[in-house]
Structure 1
Amino acid sequence: MMTDPISDMLARIRNAALARHDRAEMPHSHVKQHIAAVLKAEGFLDDVRVSEGEGRKTLTLVMRYGRDRASAIDGVRRISAPGRRVYVRFDRIPRVRSGMGISILSTSRGVMTDRQAREQRVGGELLCEVW
């Protein structure tokens, strides 16, 4: 039994980037799919696919690499965890690596980046940071 599926997702992404794999596969959930869509929109992933097989859905993330197979994702950190939830107001959302990275928040208006949350003036649960 997995107690924190989002941490598992981030660990799989980190491991795939470090090992220079073409893709990372994981069990599907709607929150993971929305986080992956944000990462794709921000240019950290090439593609997000959902496939169904044997009664289960699988989420496949196609990793993005630059020259010399340098990963677009340098680091990932989980902020809010099941035992320690972290909520922030829109004006207290931290900047990641002086604006070079993103924070992903779960808000009442859906999963979005720190930049979008500040623009819409909405806070929420600070899920993770990616740079």
Structure 2
Amino acid sequence: MNMQPSWPLTLYYDGDCPLCAREIKLLRQRADVQRLCLVDISVNDFHPESVGYSRETLQNLLHARFADGQWVTGLDATLWSWRAAGLGHWATPLTWPALRPLFELGYRLFCRLRPHLDWLPHPDASRRCKDATCDVSKKSR
């Protein structure tokens, strides 16, 4: 994908997903807000209609939008978010034509399994606990 990015990139992620939250934690530590904005689609005050997609669509495939309005999805959203955080060298294999079909297959498999991974420890679990109780119920959608 050869293009001149129009920063910042806004990445729409599911903060309820333990694996996604781990990746976002890494990106948040590395990224400059001038290049990467992170939007948690799992919070009650996120309104998916404001970006023109349903919550289900955003949950089924990673979405990101550049400042000029151009959308990237799936592996390309991952690639560009890692580039925005200065970690592009780790995501460079996603651009290799010989391996791209294998990565696409792996990504599609992950997307199917992701809803069933909520049993994994969440990196923000301690922040979800207040007054000696933890709210682990699903947020209303």
TM-score interval (norm. to shorter): under 0.3
- Point out which structure has higher relative CO (alpha carbons under 8 A, 6+ apart): 2
Which has the larger share of strand? 1
Which has the larger share of helix? 2
Q: Which has the larger radius of gyration?
A: 2
